[in-house]
Amino acid sequence: MTDPRTDELRDRLQRVHQRIETACAATGRLDRPELIVVTKYFPAADVQRLYQLGVRQVGENKDQEAAAKAVHTAISTAGLNWHFIGQLQSNKAKSVARYASAVHSVDRSKLITALSKAADQALQEGQRTAPLDCLIQVDLREPGVDDGRGGAVPAKVEELAAQIAQATGLQLKGLMAVAPLGEPAEPAFDRLQQLASSLRGVHPEAHWISAGMSQDLEAAVASGATHLRIGRDVLGSRPYPG
């Protein structure tokens, strides 16, 4: 028998998968985006429940929380991939490189340098077996608008991509963005798709587009997202710490 929380997560997960399938059918997509379940503020026990339900990709925004959960669940969730999706300070690179399979929020040169050094060390020490996948977070806001979501301006993408591609210990995978607050998601994700297409022209290996959350996953699917970051609609309202 399963516990009530597992049953709840199963139902929510099934509804999200159905939304993704419906969105793919509506746009004629034959490829299905990867679902990353964002477990921010939820306990390690929920990560283990999700694993039992078949989830293999989870996302976290804060290193301290993510690192603790990764250690706590390491034995019981073999093959689980941790995606770091929040704003990342350079001094946290060493920690993140020990457990994350991918960082979606690379937005500046200094962070790339720190991640490269940390990933190299983790590879040499056997703490990881593959390069750290990196996505450049793009700021899709209008100039002068600040909603706190961060990201590199589009004009910097090519420069950052070249630095990641040349860095040891890292692998360039693509772009990530969050739809700007107060704007329709569709045009923002269309801009992201155009930037991603330009990037692939120079770096064919950079084929990931990380976009879409609970409220706008359909728009992300329509714009070619390869990875969706869904938290609330799978796990429920977040138990924000007091």
> Rounded to whole angstroms, how far apart are CA atoms 104 and 221?
18
**Which segment of 19-28, 147-156, 166-175 scores lowest on mean pLDDT?**
147-156
CATH number (3.20.20.70, 3.20.20.10, 3.40.50.970, 3.40.50.2000) of 4-235 reads: 3.20.20.10
- 3 state DSSP class of 105: strand
What pTM did the predictor assign? 0.95
**Model pLDDT, residue 149:** 62
Bridge partners of 229, per DSSP, are 36
Q: Which residues contact 124 (CB under 8 A, 6 or more apart)?
A: none
Q: What is the pLDDT of residues 204-221, one digit of tens each?
A: 999 999 999 999 999 999
Q: What is the pLDDT of residues 100-118, one digit of tens each?
A: 999 999 999 999 999 999 9
Bridge partners of 36, per DSSP, are 229
**CA of 105: how far to CAs of 86, 150, 171, 176, in Å?**
6, 9, 14, 7
